[in-house]
Each structure stands twice: as C-alpha cells, then as structure tokens.
C-alpha cells in the first residue's frame, strides 16, 4: 500500500471531526466565524508542524519561490470561494441537487490536473473516481424526491450550477495546492506540505479577519467567547489539511480527493452509532459504491 493512502484516510477522519466541531460552533456564532475558526485557530498548529519537522525531524526549511506563492494564492482564494458557494446552497429550500453536483470535485480535479499540470489520470483511476462520485451523489439525493433522470435534467437549474461551481473551485484548489507543494522541490513531502499549509492558512486567516473587521466585528467577540472548542477545531482542521497536502504531494489531486470520499462512510458510521439514526437503501447503495471505488483505488494506487 502506497503511503498516500493511509495519509488520506487519516485526513478524511480528521476532517469529519472538524466538520462536527464546526457544526457545534454554528450554535454560538455565524457562518463566517465558524469558517474563520478552521483557519485562524489552525494557524498556530501549522507553525508548530513546520517547527517540529525542522527541529524535531531535522529537515531544512523549504524555500518559497514565485510559482509557489502564485499557486498558494490561487488555492487559498478558490477554496474560500468553494466553501462560500457550498454554504450558500444551504439557504435554498432544495439544496440536495446542488450538493450532489458539488461532489463532482474529484472528476473536476482530474480535468484541471490535466489542463494545469499536464497530469494524465489512468483509466483505472478514472473508473474508481467515477464510482465514488456516483456513490456520493446518490447519498446527497437520498432523502429528496429526485431520480437520476431528474437529476440530469436539472443540470441547468440554479442549485445545480452553484453546486458545479463549488465543485469546480474545490477541484482547482486541490490541483493548486499540489502544484504549490511540488514547486518547492524539497526537502521532502512532509516539509513541503507543512510549508504549503502554513502559507495558505496564513493568507486565508488574513483575508477572513479583514472581512470580519470590515463587515461583522461582532463575530470576532463571539469567536473569542468560544475559544476552547475553536482551538480543537483549529487543531483537527490544520491536521486534516496537513494530511491532504502531504497526500497530494505524493499523488495526483484527483485520486486523493476520490479516496477522501471515505469521509462519508465515517459520517454515516457516526450517524448510526452515536445518534441511532436509520439510513435508507439509497444511502446504503451510495456507501457501497464509495467502498467499491476506494477498493479499486487501493488496488491501482
């Protein structure tokens, strides 16, 4: 088994914890604050990752260059845009269709990886990506009165277009982060990933803090009052991002994002085990497809 596989699975698990923590924070602050927490409170841990690798692991610092900075800016901005569009979807009455289309991120990452980096994704990997995407889309519409025929017919709807745009930005961000990490050229994938994370999360923290100072200063006070759960959110969020960047330094972004769909399995395990909620046949079928796609990825990866 190649190293990027367990790293991605660990990152997906940590991201599931981060998402749960952010949902908890939404009870005491707005969407902007809950989004900022993953960056602002993750920044100290991003600094610690770099210092630990330098003084604990003995690895030299990575040296940023113009290409690195450019890709970091692209990745940071497109990730914020993708997250904003995804959250915006939840304001619509029927957001299931849009959410389903946002899950096409791995497919779009494969396209942008080819266009921006000239990386061709093999046929077996493309099949695995397609299987996982279909599985996730099934789960997304499991509780909506929506057939696959109607799902395809709704492609021109506003919800679908917003969802596709969100998936597009997520796909571009993933490829940009891989390009940024690779552009460092060393000293090793861990320091490259940690450096990419540090610069990205610093940029995103500045952008979001400036936005709150301009538009919603009261949100800053609400964040301060919830600093303990916010700190946990920052820890697991930064750790998950470090995992994503490390995996995408070792493997194409499309394959990493396809395997990352295992997060849905973790989510459903939590739903059934902790909340005793039942899942329907469509959700079971979706989970089965995700597992099947992951098995294919692991066999070819």
Digit-coded pLDDT (tens) for 19-68: 888 877 877 888 788 888 989 999 999 999 999 999 999 999 999 999 99
pLDDT at position 94: 58
Coil, helix or strand at residue 30: coil
pLDDT at position 276: 65
pLDDT at position 206: 95
Mean pLDDT, the chain, rounded, equals 86
CB contact set of 156 (below 8 Å; sequence gap of 6+): none
Using the predicted structure, report yes or no on whether residue 199 has a pLDDT greater than 70: yes
Measure Cα distances from 29 to 17, 26, 208 in Å: 18, 5, 15
In the chain, the N- to C-terminal Cα span, in Å, equals 7
The helix/strand count (H/E) of the chain reads as 15, 0
CB contact set of 73 (below 8 Å; sequence gap of 6+): 203
Helix axes 4-25, 227-250, angle to 10 degrees: 160
Digit-coded pLDDT (tens) for 74-99: 999 999 888 888 777 766 655 556 66
Do the beta carbons of residue 196 and residue 45 sit within 8 Å?
no
pLDDT at position 156: 62
Distance, in Å, from the CA atom of 142 to the CA atom of 131, rounded to the nearest integer, reads 16
What is the domain extent for residue 150?
4-300
Of the pLDDT bands very low, low, confident and very high (cuts 50, 70, 90), residue 123 is confident
pLDDT at position 147: 62
∠ Cα 121 122 123 (to 5°): 120
Domain count along the chain: 1
Distance, in Å, from the CA atom of 55 to the CA atom of 287, rounded to the nearest integer, reads 42
Residue with tokens 């991002």: 241
pLDDT at position 144: 64
């Amino acid at each position: 088994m190649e190293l990027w596989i367990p790293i991605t699975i660990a990152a997906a698990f940590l991201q599931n914890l981060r998402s749960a923590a952010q949902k908890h924070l939404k009870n005491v602050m707005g969407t902007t604050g809950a989004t900022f927490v993953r960056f602002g409170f993750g920044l100290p841990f991003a600094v610690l990752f770099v210092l630990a690798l330098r003084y604990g692991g003995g690895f030299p610092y990575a040296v940023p260059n113009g290409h690195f900075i450019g890709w970091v800016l692209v990745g940071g901005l497109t990730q914020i845009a993708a997250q904003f569009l995804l959250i915006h979807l939840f304001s619509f009455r029927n957001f299931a269709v849009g959410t389903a289309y946002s899950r096409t991120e791995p497919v779009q990452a494969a396209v942008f990886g080819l266009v921006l980096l000239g990386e061709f994704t093999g046929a077996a990997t493309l099949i695995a990506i397609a299987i996982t995407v279909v599985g996730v889309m099934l789960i997304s519409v499991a509780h909506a009165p929506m057939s696959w025929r109607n799902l395809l017919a709704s492609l021109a709807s506003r919800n679908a277009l917003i969802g596709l745009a969100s998936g597009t930005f997520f796909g571009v961000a993933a490829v940009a982060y891989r390009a940024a990490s690779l552009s460092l050229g060393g000293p090793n994938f861990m320091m490259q990933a940690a450096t990419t994370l540090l610069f990205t999360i610093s940029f995103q923290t500045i952008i979001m803090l400036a936005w709150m100072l301009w538009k919603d200063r009261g949100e800053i006070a609400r964040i301060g009052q919830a600093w303990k759960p916010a700190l946990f959110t920052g820890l697991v969020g930064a750790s998950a991002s470090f995992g994503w960047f490390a995996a995408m330094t070792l493997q194409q972004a499309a394959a990493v994002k396809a395997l990352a769909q295992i997060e849905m399995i973790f989510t459903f395990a939590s739903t059934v085990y902790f909340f005793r909620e039942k899942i329907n046949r469509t959700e079971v079928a979706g989970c089965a497809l995700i597992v099947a796609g992951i098995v294919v990825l692991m066999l070819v990866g």
